[in-house]
Structure 1
Amino acid sequence: MRTTGDRIRQAVSFEVIGLLISVPLAAFAFGYSLEKTGVLGLIGATLATLWNYIFNLGFDHALKRFTGSTHKSLKHRLIHAFCFESGLLIAFLPIIAWWMGIGLLEALLVDVSFALFYLVYAFVFTWCYDTIFPDTDAETPPGQ
């Protein structure tokens, strides 16, 4: 299992790198100001950082309980990324609508765009992070 410090490093680095990529991309794609999109990104990053820590802790505990290890196969990584982003999508939708002053349908488009970006980003980032900072408890269980 990862330490608390390692989980915090993972969550913060995930959000900082994600913001540096997603905020300018969203401002350009949707024609919003960089300032408005930047604040939305910071709100989302704060929400996502908390969710990241809680979700990853729960996911690792569940994975260890069911498989005996925190090793993530390709299937586990896909499930991880999809579930993480689905939970965040639900929580972030009303915040987007409120902050951007748009309707729920337009907010859903923005939210889904962020989620699709972060779905791919979460998969790539987590795989890279696990490679750079391996979890000593993540050895492949026998038979997998």
Structure 2
Amino acid sequence: MRTRLDRIRHAILFEIFGLIAIMGAMSQLGFEVGHVGVMGVIFSVVATGWNYVYNIGFDKYMLRKMGTVTKTTLIRIVHSLGFEGGLLFLTIPFMAWFLNISLWDAFLLDMSMVIFYLFYAYGYNVAYDKIFPVPDITVPTITVQ
């Protein structure tokens, strides 16, 4: 499993690169860059905390159920869906209030961000694992005779 410092680096880099991309995209939709930046930083703080907690829980679950933390493509997809789903309900009401848009518009905007982050999270995690590989550990099995 990854160390605490590695998980912190993972989460911070994830948010920095994601925030830069989202600020650029939302400014092209007519939102003020500074306003979007503030919202993005708030979301990044929330998402960073969620990222840290979620990844620890996901890896512990994988280790307990599968005996390894090595992720296949399917597991990475499930991982990304779970992460983004967890953020969705936290961010919509705040986004509507902060950007002074309807809940429906916030939902649509948030869903577009979720779609972006689904692909981004998958690609980021694959790249991160290649740059900073995690050692393959397995849980020893006990055989009862």
1:1-144 equivalences under 5 Å are 1-28=1-28, 30-137=29-136
Give the Cα separation in 2 of the matches to 1:58 and 1:99. Answer: 30
- Structure 1 moving runs of 4+ over 3 Å: none
Counterpart for residue 143 of structure 2:
none
Give the C-alpha shift of residue 13 in structure 1. 0.4
Note the aligned Cα RMSD (angstroms). Answer: 1.1
Give the length in aligned residue pairs: 138
Give the C-alpha shift of residue 137 in structure 1. 3.3
Counterpart for residue 142 of structure 1:
none
1:37 is paired with a residue whose SS is helix
Give the C-alpha shift of residue 7 in structure 1. 0.3
Does 124-133 or 30-39 show the bigger shift? 30-39
Give the C-alpha shift of residue 95 in structure 1. 1.1
Counterpart code for 1:4: R
Deviations 1:57-108 (A, max 9, x none): 0000001111111000001000000110011111111110111111100110
Counterpart code for 2:37: G
Counterpart code for 1:19: L
Cα 1:97–1:133 shift into 2, 3 Å: same
Deviations 1:4-50 (A, max 9, x none): 0000000000000111111111221x211111111111111111000
Counterpart code for 1:102: I
Question: Structure 2: where are the runs of 5+ without partners?
Answer: 139-145
Counterpart code for 2:59: D
TM-score, length-scaled by structure 2 = 0.92
Give the Cα separation in 1 of the matches to 2:27 and 2:39. Answer: 10
Give the Cα separation in 1 of the matches to 2:26 and 2:137. Answer: 35
Identity of aligned residues (%): 41
Give the Cα separation in 2 of the matches to 1:53 and 1:86. Answer: 15
Give the Cα separation in 2 of the matches to 1:39 and 1:110. Answer: 16
Give the C-alpha shift of residue 138 in structure 1. 5.3
